[in-house]
Amino acid sequence: MTETTANGLAVPENGRSRGYLDEKGFRSWALTLDHKRIGVLYLYTTLFFFLLGGIFALLIRIKLMYPGQAIFSDQTYNVLFTLHGSVMIFLFIIPGIPSGLGNFLIPLLIGARDVAFPRLNLASYWIFVAGILVILGSLFRPMDTGWTFYTPYSAKTGANIAFLSFGIFLVGMSSILTGLNFIVTVHKLRAPGMTWHRLPLFIWGMYATSIIQVVATPVVGITFLLLAMERLFGVGFFDPAKGGDPLLFQHFFWFYSHPVVYVMILPAMGVISEVIPVFSRKPIFGYRAIAYSSLAIAFLGFLVWGHHMFVSGMSKTASIIFSFLTFFVAVPTAVKVFNWIATMYKGSITFESPMLYALTFIFLFIIGGLTGMFLGALATDVHLHDTYFIVAHFHYTMMGGTVMGLLAGLHYWWPKMTGRMLSEKMARWGWLLTFIGFNLTFLVQFYLGFKGMPRRWAEYPPQYQFLNIVSTVGSWILAGGILVMFSNFIRGLFRGDPAPANPWKGLTLEWRTASPPPTENFETVPVVTDWPYGYAKRKPADDG
Amino acid sequence: MTNAFAAAGAASPSAWKIDAVFLFITGVSLFFFLLVEGLLIYFAIRYRRRKASEDAATSDVKSNTVLEIVWVLVPSLAVLAFFTYGYMVYRDVTAPQPGAADINVTAGQFLYEFKYPDGRTAMNELRVPAGRPVKLIMTSRDVIHGFFIPDYRIKQDILPGQYTYLHLQPDREGTYDIFCTQYCGVGHSTMRAKLIVMSADAYAAWMARGEGVKAAMSLPEKGKALLEKFGCLGCHSTDGTVKVGPSFKGLYGREVHLEKGRETIADEEYIRESIFDPGAKVARGFPNIMPTFKGSIADDDVAAIVAYIKTLK
């Protein structure tokens, strides 16, 4: 027999309300206006594509174990690496933390009941799904251009590029609407007393991310429309035979695609800024430096796109300017890393899974960032561009960085989102295999690239074989780690121990409500009187 | 100097100089890597919560402005050094070398054609004598390709509809890989060529043997024939006389004054553009009446015309 809660929702028979999760049925999810449910929908969707993209990666690495091996054709390989990049970037990494964790947490962290435009939020999810379906529809003539779709090849190839362009356009539109929603939410819906300098740093990171989303994404949308027009109407924007320029496509494309890597990393850095103080029981060091560095990164990120084009045929003068500006994006990034480490100084540190992943983020992102130095410098980039060095660099920053940040966030906020605890033991095994597998897969690729192995090659001369075998074995260990981790997630959904409201003794507002939270987030809207990092004044036993 | 880096195994000056930049960035990065990762790991271990100090309160330090300034300035200086050194060597290795031999490269799905001054064409094999600089004038027949010589540490994309350049200083004899590094279709992974650096004597012998796809005439000879065939000489002289259009004598490499006060250098790209899109850069004082030869003159023929004009000093 069912009872109803105070706000009229049906309570399950065992009597334990699960807050926003109580209401059942397809329509209650498909037509939900609750930012938490929309966040969960995004998480399921993006994590599905993470696994799908991962399967493509495993296939890629199998092909690369033996040069020329005919497990499948070179053309299939070419489609696979294009799908791997496109799926991972457009359907997982870009929406992952912002639309998943961001949707769930932003209102909670600022003490609001929902985002500014809940209906727009729901629309953005379904536009995302529509984009996915269109992209999947294009697969009956799959593309092999690489996720960068350079012309003239992408304008001439037999693949369904116009379809695909439209799908990406829709996915981009979804992220613009989400970004818009978040910006207005942060400006207008903060709880009483929540000044800008009392905002959690995850919010600062998400705010900077949302600005990039809104400003940069329209450019890539238009770029793909131009590409579709090129194919359908033969306009000639990018075709030299008609007076066009293939480099124009590259400028348009990278004008978005460089800022988008900051869309990928800023939310992850925001997660780290939340996790480190909690598990060090110390205030975050350099709050303003970290907050403002997010804005600096967002701004500088718009000025450096040409560093993807040093050998493209772009002018030397432009190359020099882009190289100079590129180096300066590294500085606010380094500032964050130093401040996180300073936070740990004289802290009281424990290593639950969120902290393990956060520390892993810092460790691997430093490697990714330092290898970027070789790519910003003109002389060395000329050698390394379009080799496996680049592949290793972006996997260290995107997977060692963003994905580890997402995993830290998932492990950290899992109890809040699901009302259950994950198994720490399984989490640690998953972490260990992931860490070992990741490094084995990608570290050797720096050397492969330096020795000249080009990227996007289905086969290669024999001198590169040994390290390719090592890398493939690494990918299997990495896959094992992901498998353990996702098993933990599935177990955690159904059999995890019930979670208290504040298992990690955090001070941000989401921990002041039940796990999982009620639909309206807070019984009463909190009044904020202090910043959320005052750990040092308390002993751990004081936080309940 | 040559012997010093050849002894170190470098195939060419570009390799040696770029490797020095690699070494510099590696050294500085390694220092910061050990310092920062070291502190990360050290703090994690040193400040881990021990049973006995379970309830210890931690320090309330929130920030330190001096520290923030230091760790903004120090990385800024490091990256400034990376930029400067990288730029200087880049400028060096991409600079045209005096006395360079011109070799035309046409890339197409999925092979490289090398056209030598004597008119012959070789597929996927670039032979050069050691010690003489080479300028590659590259264009594509279809999509964007790459041209990467790992042992020289240099690469350049090859575009359709325009020329891009690569300057080589072949030094050590040997055979070196050339790889396509810009995805160009199903044959991308097997689009490879060889750079064969021979001694001056061996090269001369090879030239005399006349291997490779032979042309009836050398590139400049072919260019001259084309100028006659397409009626260019009706408006342009080869001896300095100003006719309807500017003379070709001394044109290559000269600064050209254009209409509206603009200037340009008459390089390969300028000549090619003037053939296909003559109204784009009209020389000052001349009428804009040159017809376009797009569709009549092929890309390969343009290379021959350029080669001929270069001989008219």
β partners of residue A82: none
A315 touches chain B (CB under 8 A): no
The residue from B209, B239, B266 where one domain ends is B209
B51 band by pLDDT with thresholds 50, 70 and 90: confident
Within a domain: B7: no
Domain stops at, among B180, B209, B238: B209
Please tell me if residue A323 touches chain B, with a CB cutoff of 8 Å: yes
The per-residue pLDDT for B56 is: 63
* pLDDT (average), residues A168-194: 96
Q: Are residues B79 and B132 in the same domain?
A: no
A536 belongs to a structural domain: no
Is residue B53, in this structure, part of any structural domain at all? no
Interatomic CA distance for residues A226 and A237, integer angstroms: 8
Domain count, chain A: 1
Per-residue pLDDT band at A10 (split at 50, 70, 90): very low
* pLDDT per position as a tens digit, A138-147: 888 888 999 9
| DSSP-assigned letters across all residues of A130-142 | HHHHHHHHGGGS-
Bridge partners of B167, per DSSP, are B135
Q: Give me the amino acid identity at A419.
A: G
Whether A379 and B23 have beta carbons less than 8 Å apart is answered as no
Whole-number Å distance between alpha carbons of B243 and B230: 16
Provide the phi-psi class of A481: left if phi over 0, else alpha when psi is between -120 and 50, else beta. Answer: alpha
> Per residue in A86-110, pLDDT tens?
999 999 999 999 999 999 999 999 9
- What pLDDT is stored for residue A160 in this prediction? 81
Q: Which of A64, A75, A327, A362 to mutate to test the interface with B (most CBs of B within 10 A)?
A: A327
- A386:B181 CB<8 A: yes
Whether the CB of A321 is below 8 Å from some CB of chain B: the reply is no
ipTM for the predicted complex: 0.91
User: CB B80 to CB A327 under 8 A?
Assistant: yes
C-alpha count within 13 angstroms, C-beta hemisphere, residue A232: 13
Find the CB nearest B186 among A74, A284, A537: A74
User: Looking at residue B1, what is its pLDDT?
Assistant: 47
A240 touches B at CB < 8 Å: yes
Q: Which chain B residue lies closest to A246 (C-alpha atoms)?
A: B159
Q: Is the separation of the CB atoms in B196 and B126 below 8 Å?
A: yes
**What is the distance between the alpha carbons of residues A12 and A24, in angstroms, rounded to a whole number?**
10
CB < 8 Å from A in window 200-229 of B: none
Q: What's the first-to-final CA gap in chain B, in angstroms?
A: 33
Whether B113 and B167 map to the same domain: the answer is yes
Residues in chain A with CB shorter than 8 Å from the CB of B72 are 331, 335
How far A135 CA lies from chain B's nearest CA (Å)? 21
Interface test with A, best of B79, B138, B166 (most A CBs within 10 A): B79
Q: Domain residues for A337? A: 2-512
* DSSP SS3 for A527: coil
pLDDT at A502: 95
Distance, CA of B112 to CA of B114 (rounded, Å): 6
Residue A543 pLDDT more than 60? Answer: no
**What residues does B178 pair with on adjacent strands?**
B193
User: Does residue B1 sit within a domain?
Assistant: no
The answer to whether B162 contacts chain A (CB < 8 Å) is: yes
What is the reported pTM? 0.90
SS3 of A296-353: HHHHHHHHCHHHHCCCCCCCHHHHHHHHHHHHHHHHHHHHHHHHHHHHHCCCCECCCH
pLDDT for residue B33 is more than 80: yes
Give A18's Cβ-side CA count (13 Å radius).
18
Buried b / exposed e along A153-170 (16+ C-beta atoms within 10 A): bbbbbebbbbbbbbbbbb
Is A525 inside a domain boundary? no
Contacts of A321 in chain B (CB under 8 A): none
Q: Tell me, yes or no, whether A205 lies in a domain.
A: yes
Three-state DSSP class for residue A524? coil
Cβ–Cβ under 8 Å, residues B248 and B234: no
Label residue A536 by pLDDT band (50, 70, 90): confident
Measured between beta carbons, which residues in chain A are less than 8 angstroms from residue B189?
A: 74, 456-460
User: Is A163 or A182 the better-scoring residue by pLDDT?
Assistant: A182
Q: Provide the H-helix boundaries in chain B.
A: 2-7, 13-46, 65-93, 200-209, 219-229, 268-276, 299-311
B198 and B107 fall within a common domain:
yes
Residue A366: which of B36, B185, B188 has the nearest Cβ?
A: B36
**In the beta sheet, which residues pair with residue A234?**
none
Q: Is residue B52 included in any domain, yes or no?
A: no
| Chain A residues closer than 8 Å to B36 by CB | 337-338, 341, 366
Six-digit token pair at B124?
């996927």
% of chain B at pLDDT higher than 90? 62
Cβ neighbours around A542 below 10 Å, total: 11
Using an 8 Å CB-CB cutoff, list chain A residues near B76: 328, 331
Q: Is residue A528 part of a domain?
A: no
Residue A382 to residue B63, Cβ atoms within 8 A: no
Mean pLDDT of B104-110: 91
What was the pLDDT predicted at B292?
87
CA distance A241 to A243: 6
Helix (H, G, I), strand (E, B) or coil at A483: helix
Structure tokens given for A58: 């495993």
> Contact B40/A362, CB-based, under 8 Å?
yes
B88 occurs within a structural domain: yes
Q: Which residues contact residue B216 at a Cβ distance below 8 angstroms, ignoring those fewer than 6 apart?
A: B119, B222
Give the pLDDT of residue A176. 97
Q: What is the CATH number of the domain that holds B180?
A: 2.60.40.420
The burial of B45, by beta-carbon neighbours within 10 Å (0-12 exposed, 13-18 middle, 19 or more buried), is given as exposed
Distances (CA, A) of A430 to A100, A375, A415, A494, B50: 21, 32, 18, 19, 25
- A418 within a domain of the structure (yes/no): yes
Q: Which of A466, A453, A471 is nearest to A387 (CA)?
A: A453
The answer to the question of residue B8 being in a domain is: no
Contact B144 A451 (CB under 8 A): no
pLDDT, average across residues B1-20: 76
| Beta strand residue intervals within A171-221, DSSP E | none
Interchain contact, A362 vs B144, CB within 8 Å: no
Residue A6, pLDDT > 70, answer no
A299 at interface of B, judged by CB pairs closer than 8 A: no
Taking the C-alpha atoms of residue A287 and residue A273, their distance in angstroms, rounded to an integer, is 9
Question: Per residue in A225-270, pLDDT tens?
Answer: 999 999 888 888 998 888 899 999 999 999 999 999 999 999 999 9
Coil, helix or strand for B283? strand
Structural tokens at position A316: 């030397």
Residue ranges making up the domain that contains B153: 101-209
Q: How far is CA A514 from CA A28, A35, B19, in A?
A: 21, 16, 58
Q: Per the domain annotation, does A544 fall within a domain? A: no
Within a domain: B71: yes
pLDDT value at position A5? Answer: 44
Provide the mean pLDDT of chain A. 93
Spatial CB neighbours of A337, under 8 Å, sequence gap ≥ 6: A362, A365, A366, A369, B36
In a domain, A298, yes or no: yes
Arithmetic mean of pLDDT over chain B: 89
Classify the C-alpha dihedral A48-A52-A58-A64 as positive or negative. Answer: negative
Strand order in the sheet with B134-140: B121-123, B111-115, B101-108, B134-140, B164-168
B129 and B201 in one domain?
A: yes
Tell me the angle at which helices A465-495 and A35-63 cross, rounded to the nearest 10 degrees. 150
Residue A11 has pLDDT above 90, yes or no: no
Whether the CB-CB separation of A314 and A378 falls below 8 Å is answered with no
In total, how many domains does chain B have? 3
* Closest residue to B21, CB basis, from A146, A334, A380: A380
Residues B85 and B113 in one domain: no
In this prediction, residues B47-65 reach a mean pLDDT of 77
B65 touches chain A (CB under 8 A): no
Q: Looking at the complex, does the CB of residue B33 fall below 8 Å from at least one CB of chain A?
A: yes
Residue A326: closest CA among A292, A309, A301, A295 = A301
* A16 and B CB contact within 8 Å: no
What confidence tens digit (pLDDT) does each residue in B175-213 have? 999 999 999 998 899 999 999 999 999 998 888 877 666
A379/B18 touch (CB, cutoff 8 Å), yes or no: yes
What confidence tens digit (pLDDT) does each residue in B141-156 have?
999 999 999 999 999 9
User: Which CATH number do you get for residue A89?
Assistant: 1.20.210.10
Contact residues on chain A for B148, CB-CB shorter than 8 A: 386-387, 452, 454
Phi–psi pair at B156, nearest 5 degrees: -155, 135
Q: What is the CATH number of the domain that holds B31?
A: 1.10.287.90
Residues 239-278 of B with CB under 8 A from A: 277
Residue of chain B whose Cα is closest to the Cα of A74: B186
Same domain, B88 and B109: no
- Over 90: is that where the pLDDT of A510 sits? yes
Handedness of CA B91, B92, B97, B103 (dihedral sign): negative
Among B70, B90, B294, the residue to mutate for chain A (most A Cβ within 10 A) = B90
B93 CB near a chain A CB, below 8 Å?
Answer: yes
Asked whether residue A314 is domain-assigned, the answer is: yes
The whole-number pLDDT of residue A16 equals 63
Note whether B62 contacts A287, CB cutoff 8 Å: yes
* Confidence band of A490 (pLDDT split at 50, 70, 90): very high
| Per-residue model confidence (pLDDT) at position A67 | 78
- Please tell me the predicted confidence (pLDDT) of residue B118: 81
Query: Which residues, listed in sequence order, are joined to residue B154 by a DSSP beta bridge?
Result: B149
- The stretch A39-66 carries a mean pLDDT of 96
Do B17 and B81 lie in one domain? The reply is yes
Q: Is the pLDDT of residue A156 over 90?
A: no
CATH number of the domain encompassing residue B289: 1.10.760.10
What pLDDT, on the 0 to 100 scale, is given for residue B6? 55
List, for residues A313-358, the tens digit of each pLDDT value: 999 999 999 999 999 999 999 999 999 999 999 999 999 999 999 9
A443 interface with B at CB cutoff 8 Å: no
Q: How far apart are CA B175 and CA B194, in angstroms?
A: 6
Residue B8: its pLDDT value, please?
Answer: 62
User: pLDDT confidence of A9, banded at 50, 70, 90?
Assistant: very low
CA distances in angstroms from A486 to A357, A489, A494, listed in the order given = 15, 5, 13
A249/B308 Cα distance (integer angstroms):
34
Residue B296 confidence (pLDDT) above 50: yes
CA dist B90 and A377 (Å) reads 9
Could you tell me if residue B54 is inside a domain? Answer: no
pLDDT above 60 for B7? no
